[in-house]
Amino acid sequence: MPDVFANITKVPSEMLDVIASVLETRAAMPSQQDMISSYLGEIDFPEKSRVLEVGCGTGPICRALVSIPNINQVIGIDPSEHLLSKARELSEGHKGISYQEGDGRKLDFEDSSFDAVILHTTLTHVPGPEEILSEVRRLLKPGGWLGVCDGDFDTATLRLSNSDLLQACCESFVENFVNDRYLVRKMSTLVQGAGFEVQPLKSYGLVETLAPGLTLSWIDRGADALVQKGTISSELGEALKKEGRKRAEQGGFFGYMAYASLIARAPTQ
């Protein structure tokens, strides 16, 4: 099954509601908030900046961006009207944000019309990341900033031992929800290849032990995909989910993934 995010306009609304809730849960995690403010803090936004987020989902990054003093206008783009309507609801009261439906590979904005563009956990999900980066390069003003942050999905783990069956759910989650699990490892080359001046990659960790949320959701989403494909029975799927909840309630749960960020600039001329 291909990455659901890459086919987001075909995803049923019940699953989009789950995705919306997972995106907001993740964005609310203190370690993710630290990561987001750390890499956004590396960007020297010019006064009255106009900033674009490509693949904004429910808009947590747009909301974070608009609270940065030098930023006047934030536009969030996403192909999913369902996620955009949640984003609009959640952004009520945040002045300066607007959302538009669009595909990051072909956007309807003028050349050199943004001071900064952010790609937060989008590039791993879209077939054709080169097309997005070339479009972003077109939209940025000379010297404009690009901030990219994504999960290094090949590091995703729930494993407590070599034979831990929960790892099969984790693998299934990566297989069904990620287009390129190795994208982070190619990120510098891809961004440089699109004509940007890149800074070194920075690494962060997401770990959950007590009260897991995001990594616990990998079990449900991974197990459901295995059952849907007929790889395991629905009874085994339920048993794996129960084991995940048991570890979460009784202690002993471990969920981890590394993230990485990259800051780059469009050449000044």
Rule CB under 6 A: which residues touch ligand SAM?
A: 5-6, 8, 23, 27, 54-57, 60-61, 77-80, 83, 103-105, 120-122, 125-126
Residue closer to ligand SAM (CB basis): 79 or 222: 79
Question: Which residue from 254, 267, 217 is spatially nearest to 112, judged by alpha carbons?
Answer: 267
Shortest distance in whole angstroms from residue 62 CB to ligand SAM: 8
Taking the complex as a whole, the smallest distance from the CB of residue 83 to ligand SAM amounts, in Å, to 5
Minimum CB distance to ligand SAM, residue 47 (Å):
25
- Beta bridge partners, 127, equal none
What is the rounded distance in angstroms from the CA atom of residue 158 to the CA atom of residue 77?
A: 32
196: helix, coil or strand? Answer: coil
Residue 25 CB, nearest distance to ligand SAM (Å)? 10
Nearer to ligand SAM, 104 or 244 (CB): 104
Our CB check for ligand SAM shows the closer of 56 and 75 to be: 56
The answer to whether 176 and 169 have CB atoms below 8 angstroms apart is no
Q: Which is nearer to ligand SAM, 61 or 232 (CB)?
A: 61
Q: How far is the CB of 53 from ligand SAM (least distance, A)?
A: 6
Q: How far is CA 100 from CA 8, 52, 53, 111, 206, in A?
A: 15, 11, 10, 18, 30
Residue with smaller CB distance to ligand SAM, 191 or 240:
191
Helices (H) and strands (E) in the chain, counts: 9, 8
- CA 46, CA 222: separation in Å to the nearest integer? 42
